[in-house]
């Protein structure tokens, strides 16, 4: 079994580089074996600069791990936080000198905290030459994006319908190039039917759906001047009618006719999910009517779910205005509601958008004297790429 995990092979220049604190390099972790009580991953980091006297590595597991075994590195320390576990490692005498381009590789066997747990969805590998243990970079303020050797740029749909969406690549060419190509990758498969771009050539795969494409120049825009802007507009068909449009990432390859696959950046850290108390509008006998309003702190792209927790068991809820009941707990205190897949106006919500939900219901037992209350918590069901404007203040 070969599974690729978080493998952002990007190289970020840090702002200060001293001999002791060298730039952060991301490595890859590839799952090789998964046993009931442990799993084995192969770590690889390709050197972006020569390392002359040792290194430090952080392995971040997205689930608790009992212990790790590693033979070609020394384990220095271990840190646990709510949802992840980080091991710091250092070199052994035989791998402390590495030339630029060399691959540092070794296997790690991680013992699961519980038997038969699935291996973690994510193992992040951070590497630094020198003696400073690398940490995950904090999300940089929007005005100073980290400089990457190969910048991976994000595209968002600027228009969307039930069947398709539109995007625009607007790339400022940093230096003159005689030829170029662009690797374009979507966060979901799209339909390859009728996918064409006026000002670029697209190599279409034979499959009806695909997530990666290679764009090349037309004869009249092969040659690009320094500082000129390359603007490519395109419309695509969604792979499935009504689903939320994906976002995309692209890499511009100067002087090259060869696209290269790249790994999508790992979705940003998930902030707190929205939650609120429902308001009881009316209650008569066992029946009641409630409403709630959730304001989105970050944008939503794709399907979502709301967990409603009631203070008393509820036999049924009905007349939901913009969502459907997707399930309930055995004790009938918790109900799950989801958006209709066909309503993209509620699947795609901008930051600050208010979701107003009303519903009726019937209590399971005859009405107690306690007032009925309910809390609602919102959950995005698709991976999140932070789309949040920290400057934006939502009006209540």
Ligand X SMILES: *[C@@H]1O[C@H](CO)[C@@H](O)[C@H](O)[C@H]1NC(C)=O
Assess contact for 96 and 41: CB atoms under 8 A: no
Query: In the range 299-358, which residues lie near ligand X by CB under 6 A?
Result: none
Residue among 183, 252, 169, 238 at smallest CA distance from 212: 183
Please identify, using beta-carbon distances, which residue of 46 and 84 lies nearer to ligand X: 46
Among 227, 229, 318, 368, binds ligand X (CB under 6 A): 227
Please identify, using beta-carbon distances, which residue of 158 and 226 lies nearer to ligand X: 226
Among 21, 30, 32, 211, binds ligand X (CB under 6 A): 211
CB of 228 to ligand X, least distance (A): 9
Assess contact for 106 and 43: CB atoms under 8 A: yes
Tokens found for residue 264: 């999508």
Using CB under 6 A as the binding rule, whether residue 103 contacts ligand X is answered as: yes
Residue among 57, 67, 60 at smallest CA distance from 109: 67
Using CB under 6 A as the binding rule, whether residue 238 contacts ligand X is answered as: no
**Stretch near ligand X under the rule CB under 6 A, chosen from 52-60, 98-106, 161-169, 247-255:** 98-106
* DSSP SS3 for 270: coil
Using CB under 6 A as the binding rule, whether residue 102 contacts ligand X is answered as: yes
**Residue 223 φ then ψ, to 5°:** -90, 120
Using CB under 6 A as the binding rule, whether residue 101 contacts ligand X is answered as: yes
Burial (Cβ within 10 Å: 0-12, 13-18, ≥19) of residue 82: exposed
327: left (phi over 0), alpha (psi -120 to 50) or beta: left
Using CB under 6 A as the binding rule, whether residue 365 contacts ligand X is answered as: no
Using CB under 6 A as the binding rule, whether residue 46 contacts ligand X is answered as: yes
Please identify, using beta-carbon distances, which residue of 212 and 334 lies nearer to ligand X: 212
Please identify, using beta-carbon distances, which residue of 173 and 202 lies nearer to ligand X: 173
Using CB under 6 A as the binding rule, whether residue 3 contacts ligand X is answered as: no
Query: In the range 184-203, which residues lie near ligand X by CB under 6 A?
Result: 188-189
Q: Which residues pair with 235 in a beta bridge?
A: 166, 196
CB of 229 to ligand X, least distance (A): 12
Assess contact for 110 and 34: CB atoms under 8 A: no
**What span, in angstroms and rounded, lies between the C-alpha atoms of 119 and 362?**
42
Give the number of residues in contact with ligand X, rule: CB under 6 A.
Answer: 10
93: left (phi over 0), alpha (psi -120 to 50) or beta: alpha
**Stretch near ligand X under the rule CB under 6 A, chosen from 34-42, 101-109, 267-275, 341-349:** 101-109
Using CB under 6 A as the binding rule, whether residue 209 contacts ligand X is answered as: yes
Assess contact for 62 and 84: CB atoms under 8 A: yes
**What does the binding site for ligand X look like in residue numbers (CB under 6 A)?**
46, 101-103, 188-189, 209, 211, 226-227
């Amino acid at each position: 079994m070969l599974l690729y995990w978080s493998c952002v092979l990007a190289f970020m220049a840090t702002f200060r580089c001293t001999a002791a604190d060298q730039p952060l390099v991301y490595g890859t972790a590839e799952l090789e074996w998964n046993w009931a009580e442990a799993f084995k991953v192969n770590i690889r980091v390709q050197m972006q600069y020569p390392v002359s006297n040792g290194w430090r590595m952080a392995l971040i597991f997205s689930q608790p791990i009992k212990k790790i075994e590693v033979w070609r590195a020394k384990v220095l320390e271990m840190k646990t936080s709510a949802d992840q576990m980080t091991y710091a490692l250092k070199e052994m005498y035989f791998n402390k000198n590495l030339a630029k381009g060399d691959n540092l590789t070794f296997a790690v066997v991680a013992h699961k905290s519980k038997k038969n747990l699935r291996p973690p969805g994510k193992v992040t590998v951070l590497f630094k030459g020198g003696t400073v243990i690398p940490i995950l970079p904090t999300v940089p303020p929007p005005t100073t994006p980290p400089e990457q050797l190969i910048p991976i740029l994000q595209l968002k749909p600027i228009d969307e319908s039930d069947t398709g969406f539109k995007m625009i690549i607007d790339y400022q060419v940093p230096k003159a190039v005689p030829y170029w190509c662009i690797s374009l990758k979507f966060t979901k498969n799209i339909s390859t039917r009728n996918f064409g771009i006026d000002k670029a050539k697209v190599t279409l795969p034979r499959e009806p759906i695909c997530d990666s494409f290679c764009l090349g120049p037309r004869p009249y825009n092969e040659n690009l001047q320094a500082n000129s802007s390359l603007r490519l507009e395109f419309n695509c068909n969604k792979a499935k009618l009504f689903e939320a449009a994906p976002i995309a990432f692209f890499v511009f390859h100067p002087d090259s006719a060869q696209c290269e696959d790249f790994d999508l950046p790992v979705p940003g850290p998930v902030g707190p999910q929205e939650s609120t108390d429902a308001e009881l509008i009316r209650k008569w006998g066992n029946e009641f009517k409630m409403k709630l309003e959730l304001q989105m702190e970050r944008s939503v792209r794709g399907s979502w779910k709301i967990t409603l927790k009631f203070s008393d068991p509820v036999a049924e809820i009905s007349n939901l205005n913009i969502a459907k009941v997707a399930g309930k707990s055995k004790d009938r205190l918790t109900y799950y509601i989801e958006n209709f897949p066909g309503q993209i106006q509620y699947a795609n919500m901008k930051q600050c958008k208010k979701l107003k939900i009303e519903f009726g219901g019937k209590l399971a037992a005859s009405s107690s004297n306690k007032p009925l209350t309910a809390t609602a918590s919102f959950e995005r069901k698709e991976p999140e790429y932070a789309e949040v404007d920290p400057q934006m203040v939502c009006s209540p």
